[in-house]
C-alpha cells in the first residue's frame, strides 16, 4: 500500500471502520513508514482536541431565522429575475407564442382531419365487408337489391 492509499484510510482506520485485511495492511505500513505514522499521530491529536471542545448550542430561534432568510432569498431571486428581463420582452414572446399556437392548431387540425378520414375509410371497409357477406345470396333476393342500392349510394 502506498503512503497516499494509507493516509486516505487513516480516519477510517482510527474509527475501526476498515475491513480486517485492509486494516492489517495499513498497520503494517504504519510500522515501517515514519511519515504515515506521524500523520496518524497528528490526526489522533486533532480528534482528541475536538473531543475536549464543549458542544456548541445553536442560538435561540436559529432554525426559524435560517428558514426566514431562505424565504427572503427566494423572493429576492424572483424579483431579481424580473429586473434582469428587458423592459419590453412582450413582442418576441407574443410572436413566438403565436407561432407555437399556430403550429399546435395546425397539428391538431391535421390529426382531426386524418382521424375523420380514417373513420370514413373504416366505415367504407365495413360496408364492403357486409357486401361480401351478402355475396353468395341468390340473385333477385332482397339482399341483392340492398347491396345494389348501397353500392349506388356509395358511388355518389
Ligand atoms: Zn507512508
Phi (first) and psi of residue 55, to 5 degrees: -60, 140
Q: What is the pLDDT of residues 112-132, one digit of tens each?
A: 667 666 666 666 556 555 555
- Residue 47 CA to ligand 1 center (angstroms) comes to 20
Residues 6+ apart with CB under 8 A from 131: 147, 150, 151
Question: What confidence category does residue 3 fall into, taking pLDDT thresholds of 50, 70 and 90?
Answer: very high
Whole-number pLDDT of residue 10: 96
Whole-number pLDDT of residue 83: 56
Spell out the domain ranges in the chain: 3-51, 120-156
Q: Collect residues with CB below 5 Å from ion ligand 1.
A: 3, 33, 36
pTM of the complete model: 0.37
Question: What confidence category does residue 57 fall into, taking pLDDT thresholds of 50, 70 and 90?
Answer: confident
91: left (phi over 0), alpha (psi -120 to 50) or beta: alpha
Whole-number pLDDT of residue 16: 93
Closest to 36 measured CA to CA, from 66, 4, 76, 60: 4
Amino acid at each position: 500500500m502506498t503512503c497516499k492509499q494509507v493516509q486516505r484510510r487513516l480516519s477510517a482506520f482510527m474509527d475501526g471502520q476498515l475491513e480486517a485485511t485492509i486494516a492489517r495492511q495499513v498497520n503494517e505500513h504504519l510500522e515501517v513508514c515514519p511519515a504515515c505514522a506521524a500523520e496518524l499521530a497528528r490526526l489522533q491529536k486533532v480528534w482528541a482536541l475536538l473531543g475536549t471542545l464543549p458542544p456548541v448550542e445553536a442560538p435561540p430561534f436559529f432554525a426559524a431565522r435560517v428558514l426566514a432568510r431562505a424565504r427572503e432569498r427566494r423572493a429576492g431571486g424572483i424579483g431579481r429575475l424580473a429586473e434582469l428581463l428587458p423592459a419590453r420582452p412582450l413582442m418576441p414572446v407574443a410572436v413566438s407564442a403565436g407561432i407555437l399556437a399556430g403550429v399546435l392548431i395546425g397539428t391538431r387540425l391535421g390529426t382531426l382531419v386524418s382521424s375523420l378520414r380514417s373513420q370514413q375509410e373504416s366505415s367504407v371497409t365495413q360496408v364492403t365487408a357486409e357486401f361480401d357477406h351478402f355475396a353468395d345470396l341468390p340473385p333477385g333476393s332482397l339482399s341483392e337489391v340492398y347491396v345494389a342500392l348501397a353500392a349506388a349510394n356509395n358511388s355518389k
